Amino acid sequence: MLQRLLRRIIEPLSAIVLAALAWHVAVVSTATPLVPTPIAALRAIGELAQKGLLTKYIVASLFRVTWGYVAALLFAVPTGVMLGLWRRGELAINPIMQILRPISPLAWIPIAILWFGVGDSAAIFLIFLASFLPLTLTTINAVHNIEETQLRAGENFGLTKNELVQSVIIPAILPQLIVGMRITLGIAWLVVVAAEMIAVNSGLGFLIIDARNAGNRYDLVVAGMILIGLIGVLLDLLMRQLEKLPGVRWGYAAE
């Protein structure tokens, strides 16, 4: 067990170290002034921490993602369950969802700024849009995958519609829904970074565009990219913990 755990830690770290070495060698050998070395990027992160901006920007981005994502989840899951059970409603709404689905959330930036102005509300709205449709479609598909015998068994036991949703449908869709939540959270994190480059004046996305505009500080640009990647990995790891809950563990293959 210990050997397996060490291998799962050492192998990814080894790949990261090798990638950083290759990055350093490539920058030094080409002597390019625009691309910073890994050490320069780490120094830039330290500079942000020293100025008190590191925590401020990270918290700002996470704040927007949390509100937009949670709001989408609260609306999308009930909507998906309702449409998954109500076939006529799904047939009526599905064309609209399929038209909206290919539209990039970033295309809504001008409208978001027009409605909400430059600030947190515009970014939260964009994250909500980016998260709502994927979560709704995931929930609908998960409801469709429930075995008919499970629904019939619940009805035979005299469960009301609300009891059927709480006792049968929600537990049955949770494994598939959690997978959709992980994917959608990644999308939300991408969107907030892009939105912060245009619609707000704080956050990691703002850090990147501000560093580029204010004297071509590419070390800060790369530092922002590294922070975005690391936080994205941490968010995904946190979401994966939901897969270990007793009520949903049955839906995943044993590692």
Longest dimension (CA), the chain: 74
In this predicted structure, what is the pLDDT of residue 253? 52
Quote the domain boundaries for residue 243: 36-251
Is residue 225 situated within a structural domain? yes
Is residue 153 situated within a structural domain? yes
Is residue 174 situated within a structural domain? yes
In this predicted structure, what is the pLDDT of residue 1? 61
3 pLDDT more than 70: no
Is residue 240 situated within a structural domain? yes
Alpha helices (H) along 145-196: 148-156, 161-164, 170-196
101 pLDDT more than 60: yes
Lowest mean pLDDT among 17-31, 73-87, 145-159, 216-230: 145-159
**247 — pLDDT class (breaks 50, 70, 90):** low
Is residue 202 situated within a structural domain? yes
Is residue 222 situated within a structural domain? yes
In this predicted structure, what is the pLDDT of residue 67? 94
Is residue 186 situated within a structural domain? yes
- Mean pLDDT score across all residues of the chain: 84
Is residue 30 situated within a structural domain? no
Task: Report the domain count for the chain.
Answer: 1
Which range scores top for mean pLDDT: 20-34, 64-78, 82-96?
64-78
- Residue 247's domain is classified under what CATH number? 1.10.3720.10
What's the whole-number mean pLDDT along residues 145-171? 76
Lowest mean pLDDT among 135-144, 152-161, 162-171, 196-205: 152-161
